Structure 1
Amino acid sequence: MIKAFVVDNDRLHLVDDLVQNSDTVVWVDLFNPTKEEETTIETWLGIAVPTREEMEEIEISSRLYVEDGAYFMTAILPAQTEVNDPLMSPVTFVLAGSRLITVRYHEPKAFKTFPLRAEKVATGCTSGDTILIGLLEAIVDRLADILERAGRDVEAISRDIFEARSTKVSKRNRDFQELLKGIGRKEDLASSIRDSLISLQRLAGFLAHASTQSRMSKDIRARIKTLSRDVLSLADHATFLSQKISFLLDATLGMISIEQNAIIKIFSVAAVIFLPPTLVASIYGMNFDIIPELKWHFGYPFAIGMMVLSAILPFWYFRRRGWL
């Protein structure tokens, strides 16, 4: 799919036909492009549109490079962050003179919100470089919103871990299972956002160098510096969030260990308490002909009393030492 935008009264306007408006188009957004659509762009601008395999290369030289006078920049961006399984995929930004071409195979939310805003409000996006900066700023704002929401979710998980829990063991087990699942999802999201921010940080550095080489305006260079600082601060926040999630994971595992130790302690104490009565019962259960208490009138209550007393004394001792 090809989306072509032109500038109309300092606002972006979507046009239906790229060929008829080829002279005025400033931004072309390629979403899941076909081979024919790629050929159309390559013929129009005289550049090679990167394939999906080339976009997924992990080498920096394959993501940030200059070819035929155009600057190619690829970053990993998230989509579908509202669900538990966000989609991470590369997006390539091609700055060819005064035009911007974006190539993507998924739909980050910024690619929906930015054109709508630029169509309604004069944002100063009148050329490829200004559109690129505006789009990158919208992407960074979106990543900040995702991290903010993830931070609130992590705070809720923290409260669930350390607040008083249900007294039923089965309910506590289910709670801990849900907490571990929630922690795993948030760690996956934080790691994905951190990877995205790292790729954007490299892109911003490359773009800063490109702005010097192509002699962009002073305002554009200042916005690129601000963008770099914002990305760096968000990357630090994502790292902090990952560290907090790791702490919560350790805390949850510690709480589970405490629960298990408490259960094992109950069984251990019960075994110690019932051991002396078992010994008394075993003594009087031996098959010897001569046991003085067998013929004694108070022999049975005496044996019962010994068993009860031998159970009470260890229980009292454990309570006194604070082991129960």
Structure 2
Amino acid sequence: MMRLYITTGSSIEVMQGTCDEALHDRIIWIDLHEPSPREVRFVEDMLQIDVPTRAEIVEIEASSRLYEETDAFFMTATMLCRADSESPELTPVTFILVGHRLVTLRYADPLPFRTAASQIHRNPLAWNSGEVVFVGLLEVIVDRLADILEAIGADLDAVSREVFTTDAKEAARRAKDYRQLLARVGRAGDMIGKSRESLVSLGRLVAFVTVAFKSKDRKSLQTRMKTVSRDVISLSDHASFLTNKVTFSLDAILGLVSIEQNGIIKIFSVAAVVFLPPTLVASIYGMNFEVMPELTLTYGYPMALGMMVLSAIMPYLYFKRKGWL
């Protein structure tokens, strides 16, 4: 699908599919979302460029993602999409700046593209060229990553409160939800990793396009690009902090699991020691020897039971006094 954003001076019209040649000069943004071969040919013929294939935009070499060709800048960044779902994923998005036009090539539907489209409709005068749309898209993408990292940080704070709670009821409930806590921490770690990968690719793209803007004397956009660059750096630092927090939370949860397991093993060990002496007494008097003096005693049976009870109580009292129970 192809969307054409065409400026009319005071507003911006959105058209799907191809358009008349008379409107070509007024197009500021061509959004290619899973385009057909016909749509790709339309863009190539109109702008005299070679649109990268899907196989080319997934390559990770910097030379394949950031390059200039016939006065057109080709830039591919990795974006995080479906972040609010159970299966977030990374997808490459290519930005092509050709004069005052922007071409975006994507095979997914990240939220920032919908956000940018709605902002264009609300304030069309602020999005009057392809360069402005490009910088605006980068700002929206960075804002989206900031929101994702903020949500991850809030969830990790909630996990920390649950893990380190001193309330007895909450601790008992927590002991039943270790698997859920581990799943939350694991998902947070996965999201942070994907966010950092996206930030790294955006950082490279911003550095590349900043140099390109300097060579093209686009000083009006350089300040906004510097702000985007600072935001990317600060978000990368925050992602590193959250990574350390994930590691700490994971170690804390695994430590609590070990403590719970040690407590269970201790209970079984104490129970085995407590019941071992009575078992020994019962085993002795369960022997089938002819000559056993206690067998002929009138109070032999109560005596044996008393010895069994006493041999069980004494270890229990000893453990209690030592504070092992």
TM-score bracket, normalised by the shorter chain, equals: over 0.9
* Preserved contact between residue 132 and residue 221 of structure 2 (Cα < 8 Å): yes
- 1:213-249: CA deviation from partner (whole Å, max 9, x where unpaired): 21212x3111111100001111111121122112212
Determine the structure 2 residue equivalent to 1:313: 314
Partner of 2:13: 13
Question: Which letter does structure 2 place at the counterpart of 1:102?
Answer: T
Q: Secondary structure at the match of 1:23?
A: helix
Cα–Cα, structure 1 residues 11 and 230, in superposed 2: closer, same or farther, change >3 Å? farther
Instruction: Summarize the Cα distance change of 1:69–1:167 in structure 2 as closer, same or farther, 3 Å threshold.
Output: closer
Contact kept, 8 Å, 1:6 with 1:13, in 2: the verdict is: yes
| Matches for 1:1-324 after TM superposition, within 5 Å | 1-9=1-9, 11-16=11-16, 17-20=18-21, 21-122=23-124, 124-163=126-165, 164=167, 175-217=177-219, 219-324=220-325
Distance in 1, matches of 2:148 and 2:12, equals 26
Task: Tell me the secondary structure at the aligned position of residue 126 of structure 2.
Answer: coil
- The 2-side partners of 1:258 and 1:18 are apart by 68
**Quick one: distance in 2 between partners of 1:174 and 1:120?**
49
Give the alignment's TM-score, normalised by structure 2. Answer: 0.93
Structure 1 residues 114, 31: closer, same or farther in 2, change over 3 A? same
Aligned residue identity for 2:32: L
Q: Which moved more, 1:110-119 or 1:289-298?
A: 289-298
Tell me, in whole angstroms, the C-alpha distance in 1 between the residues paired with 2:138 and 2:19: 24
Q: Identity of aligned pairs, percent? A: 48
Which whole-Å CA distance do the structure 2 matches of 1:9 and 1:67 have between them? Answer: 30
Please give the TM-score of this superposition, normalised by the length of structure 1: 0.93
**What is the CA RMSD across the aligned residues, in angstroms?**
2.0
Aligned residues: 322
> For structure 1, which segment, 54-63 or 145-154, has the greater mean C-alpha deviation from structure 2 after superposition?
145-154
Counterpart amino acid of residue 201 in structure 2: S
Would you say the 8 A contact 1:5–1:15 is kept in 2?
yes
Change (3 A) 1:243 1:123: farther
1:12: how far off? 3.5
Unaligned 5+ segments in structure 2 are: none
> Could you tell me whether the CA contact under 8 Å between 1:25 and 1:99 is conserved in 2?
yes
Given that 1:11 and 1:125 are in contact with CA atoms closer than 8 Å, whether structure 2 keeps it comes out as no
Equivalent position amino acid for 1:13 in 2: E
| Unaligned residue ranges in structure 1 (runs of 5+) | none
**How far apart, CA to CA, are the structure 2 residues paired with 1:155 and 1:10?**
47
Cα deviations by residue, 1:273-323 (Å, 9 ceiling, x for unpaired)? 011111111222222222222222222222111111111111111111111
Question: How far 1:124 sits from its partner (Å)?
Answer: 2.7
Tell me the amino acid that sits aligned with residue 232 of structure 2.
Answer: V
In 1: Cα distance, 2:293 partner to 2:58 partner: 90
Give 1:168 deviation, angstroms.
11
